[in-house]
Structure 1
Amino acid sequence: MSEVICVSPIDGSEYARRTTIGDEALGRTLDAARTAQRAWAQVPVAERAAAMTRFLEAMRTLNPAIVPELAWQMGRPVRYSGEFRSLEERVRYMVSIAERALEPLRPLDDKPGFERLIRREPLGTVLVVAPWNYPFLTAVNTIVPALIAGNAVILKHAAQTLLVGERFAEAMAMADLPPGLFSNVLLTHDQTARLLASGAINHASFTGSVAGGKAIEQAAAGTFTTPGLELGGKDPAYVRADAALDYAVENLVDGAFFNSGQSCCGVERIYVHADLYDRFVEQFVELTGQYVLGNPLDAATSLGPMAATRFAELVRSHTAEALAKGARAHLDPASFPANQPGTPYLAPQVLTNVDHTMRVMVEESFGPVVGIMKVANDAEAVTLMNDSPYGLTASVWTSDLEAAQNVGAQIATGTVYMNRCDYLDPGLVWTGVKDTGRGASLSTLGYEALTRAKSYHLRHTL
């Protein structure tokens, strides 16, 4: 066993320390999960869904304590009230569609004398390996539909947000879930790899880096564990000449800098039509300059520290390289007094005169910096948007619905937005292409990913 430590980005102090689970205890956890799952699979879907509504209400009661915990663990300002609002939307939606999504499918043709149907049966035990940036939302995307579908769930949360797993376990206990059905465990990387290699896990959901996703696949190789992988991103936005300028600026600033840019579908690069470019940049810089960088426990703070100094250093290196190659920085870090080199406190930055030879335009920065390029037309924008190894979301800002659909059809991405960004609609599948990953979560397709099809071909009479 080893120690897992959360170092707070607020002041560099140790915020929480826990011990990883021992191998024998992990074995008992797996046995308990399998036993509980077999009984849980026999519970009607409506009752399983009702348990998740109780879980949601438990989370509501815990949220006042969770909000400052998140600030201490990963730096999100308390003024944003944590993640409960989005968590509630996702849970309630997946509960509302559960019975319809999991009801048996019947062939489109009819054969007299036969009963034919396809049932959706649970996979068994689902492992969720969750990240720190949206620690409740990324985890709940799989946890709730997995349990409603009849699976058992084992959660391994990131060290940076290790208390989040405990809050999930607390809420599940308050919801009166059967013992063993949901477990929060602290694992080393080696334990996680050995667990996946053992074949004891039927589905593994991972949100994190491309390298981490490859490690998950390699560890599970040969076990036929199904993967759900949401990996890197470099999400683009395209502002067409007919866009509502003020609206686009306001929403893209938020899409780029909310959560200090540490969002899976945050906007990391923007392409603006030449007709709007100068005005867009001017307004974008002005609005970005209004952020208040500081202690996330202060209600006046609108931009907190990044989750760790090493993440801020990556952003600093991307920015420095771009500047060395000729990019222009529009914000003076000195105008943000809390900005301090060598710490997680990093001022927002807007760069122009950028191109795709710069890492800030092609590699995931995952922080409060965004590059803006001028484009002549839709074709140039599409070419640049597709010049990336990633594909999670892309947004088009326009007053022309048909144009947005045409542009969107040409972009290699999991989700196309028009006049919005950095949002996950639980009614639509959450998925990615290229190095962003494999699999699907939420929507009816999310239930399909967490079940297996079983056909029934029944002859009435001989």
Structure 2
Amino acid sequence: MSDTIKLISPVDGSVYAERAALDAVAVERVVTAARTAQTGWAATPLATRIDYCLKALDALLAMNDDIVTELAWQMGRPVRYGGEKGGLAERTRYMASIAETALANIERHDRPGFKRYLKMEPLGIVMVIAPWNYPYMTAGNAIFPALMAGNVVILKHAAQTLLVGERYAAAFEKAGLPKGVFQNIVLTHEGTEALLGSGAIDHVNFTGSVAGGKAIERALAGTFATMGLELGGKDPALVRADADLDYAIANLVDGAFFNSGQCCCGIERIYVHESRYDAFVDGFVALTRDYKLGNPLDPDTTIGPMAQTRFATWVREQTEEAIRKGARAHIDLSAFPMDKAGTPYLAPQVLTNVNHQMSVMREESFGPVVGIMKVKDDAEAIQLMNDSPYGLTASIWTEDAEAAETIGHQIDTGTVFMNRCDYVDPGLVWTGVKDTGKGAALSEIGFANLTRPKSYHLRLEH
């Protein structure tokens, strides 16, 4: 009897979907189909591979009305925000636009009598293990570039967003993709580890927790498969004395609480110059109080439930610990009647009088809580921003671009933003440092991580 994966909706705790997990025999069929399809797919002209991907993208975009409602039921994002079609389209079309150049042979012409070049070869079978928080965009970051580069893809999506993998499969079927080139599978954790340890997978792209990344590394040990791991984050923001305060407040509130704070590069801690601190906190708290916590299917809801009750419980525990240690909570939960312990419905919270002895300032929250600290200068802010085991993005709010770059050089992070946050630019590599992981996605470097160089050294004269 096969295991069953159940998707429990955060909206009402009901079983929204359930699927049987593949057994070992079925997994072997998937791998065989992928390996069989890969040679022909790699030999398919690049322009044709790109065309298939863009047709699949269009098919996904055409499903968006249904997808938006499904996402609300699956992981709690309010329908008012319209899904992920904008970001998915931007990233996929950008990668399609640079594929020919990024995947072109690199030629050397400095030795007469020789033909010398590097050819970017596909890795083979790429397994994408996708998260639930941005289930279309994060999966697409790897799926589409991998296929464009000549790899075949096996997608294992998070249990919380089971239906996303099926949507991808339907889109590629509508695009006419050859059989075996893209396959969506449902697996248990044990089944996933067995597949990774089998040596059948050439590259794994995973977005998730640090613990999950370590489990994948252990499972792959000895297979020599390559990895792209985007793991935890505790992304900081610095508001300097010269910042446009209203602009910074509006964007940082959104950066902290959009998607119930369940964003890989969401803002989790803010450092404000002492001269602007009081005004910033007042404005930030006032705007936070405008949120409406409720059923994500209600178009008036601006913040829905977290994806699972245990995620909300963790954020509540972090907040309570901070308050016990002297933090001040600025949001009166009585104004958010849907916020109830033991449920995934959690109001946004703003904490001051926080410090780095509190979990909420150092350990990933991945929920709607943010701590705000006063700093006397850039040097103090840099020290605090680097006092973290993670490093995905950091944002600096200032009118001085030169200062932002100078500060950025000193921050241990994958991306430095100025006057922006919580955004993935497909023209720039998406990567992290420290416990945030290894590898890279998007841009030309993303293609490089989904291929291997093969050298050609041809003597023309002898």
* TM-score normalised to structure 2 length: 0.99
Which whole-Å CA distance do the structure 2 matches of 1:396 and 1:453 have between them?
37
What SS does the corresponding residue of 1:275 show, helix, strand or coil?
coil
Matched, 1:125 2:125: yes
* SS of equivalent to 2:160: helix
**Distance in 2, Cα, partners of 1:60 & 1:430:** 23
Distance in 2 between the 1:32 and 1:440 partners?
Answer: 27
How far off is 1:459 after superposition? 1.4
Structure 1 unaligned regions, length at least 5: none
The answer for the alignment partner of 2:364 in structure 1 is: 364
What amino acid is the match of 1:314? W
* Structure 1 CA distance for aligned equivalents of residues 199 and 153 of structure 2: 15
The aligned residue for residue 263 of structure 1 is: 263
Measure the CA separation in 2 of the matches of 1:384 and 1:425.
Answer: 26
Per-residue CA shift, 1:385-405, capped at 9, x if unaligned?
000000000000000000000
Q: Secondary structure at the match of 2:264?
A: coil
**Structure 2 partner of 1:319:** 319
Pairs within 5 Å for 1:4-403: 4-107=5-108, 109-403=109-403
Tell me the residue number matched to 2:441: 441
Aligned residue type for 2:282:
E
| Greater CA drift, 66-75 or 333-342 | 333-342
Question: Following the alignment from structure 1 to structure 2, what is the Cα–Cα distance between the partners of residues 43 and 130?
Answer: 26
Distance 2:347 2:334 in 1: 9
Q: Distance in 2 between matches of 1:273 and 1:342?
A: 37
In structure 2, C-alpha distance between the alignment counterparts of 1:87 and 1:141, rounded to whole Å? 8
Please report how far the alpha carbon of residue 461 of structure 1 lies from its aligned counterpart in structure 2 after TM superposition.
Answer: 2.5
- In the alignment, the residues of structure 1 paired with residue 43 and residue 460 of structure 2 have an alpha-carbon distance, to the nearest angstrom, of 25
Cα distance in 2 between the residues matched to 1:26 and 1:195: 8
SS, match of residue 306 in structure 1: coil
2:127, 2:153 within 8 Å by CA — same for their partners in 1?
Answer: yes
- Tell me, yes or no, if the aligned pair for 2:71 and 2:77 is still in contact at 8 Å: yes
Map Cα deviations across residues 355-393 of structure 1 (whole Å, 9 max, x no partner).
000000000010000000000000000000000000000
Give the length in aligned residue pairs: 461
Identity %: 65
Aligned mates of 1:191, 1:344 — CA distance in 2:
28
The separation in 1 between residues aligned to 2:51 and 2:6, in whole angstroms, is 35
Compute the RMSD of aligned alpha carbons.
0.6
> How far apart are the structure 2 equivalents of 1:437 and 1:355?
25
Q: Which residue identity is paired with 1:395?
A: S
SS in 2 for 1:82: coil
Judge conservation of contact 2:72–2:297 (CA < 8 Å) in 1. yes
Residue aligning to 2:458: 458
Q: Deviations over 1:288-309 (max 9, x none)?
A: 1100100000000000000010
Query: Which residue in 2 is equivalent to 1:426?
Result: 426
Instruction: Find the residue that maps to 1:237 and give its secondary structure.
Output: strand
Q: Distance in 1 between matches of 2:387 and 2:341?
A: 31
Q: Which runs of 5+ in 2 are unaligned?
A: none
Report the CA distance between 1:113 and its aligned residue: 1.0
- CA deviation string 1:323-344 (max 9, x = no partner): 0000000010110121111100
The aligned amino acid for 1:173 is: E
CA distance in 1, matches of 2:51, 2:275: 53
CA shift for structure 1 position 417: 0.3
Q: Is the 8 A contact 2:7 2:162 kept in 1?
A: yes
Distance 1:333 1:180 in 2: 51
C-alpha distance in structure 2 between counterparts of 1:308 and 1:189, whole Å? 18
AA aligned to 2:461 is T
SS at match of 1:427: coil
C-alpha distance in structure 1 between counterparts of 2:14 and 2:426, whole Å: 36
Counterpart Cα distance in 2 of 1:128 and 1:261 = 24
Question: Cα offset for 1:460?
Answer: 1.5
Task: Show CA shifts across 1:173-195 (max 9, x none).
Answer: 11111001100001111111111
C-alpha distance in 1 between matches for 2:159 and 2:265 = 22
Q: Which letter maps to 1:188?
A: T
Aligned mates of 1:13, 1:200 — CA distance in 2: 36
Match of 1:411 in 2: 411
CA distance in 2, matches of 1:281, 1:46: 52
Partner SS state of residue 457, structure 2: strand
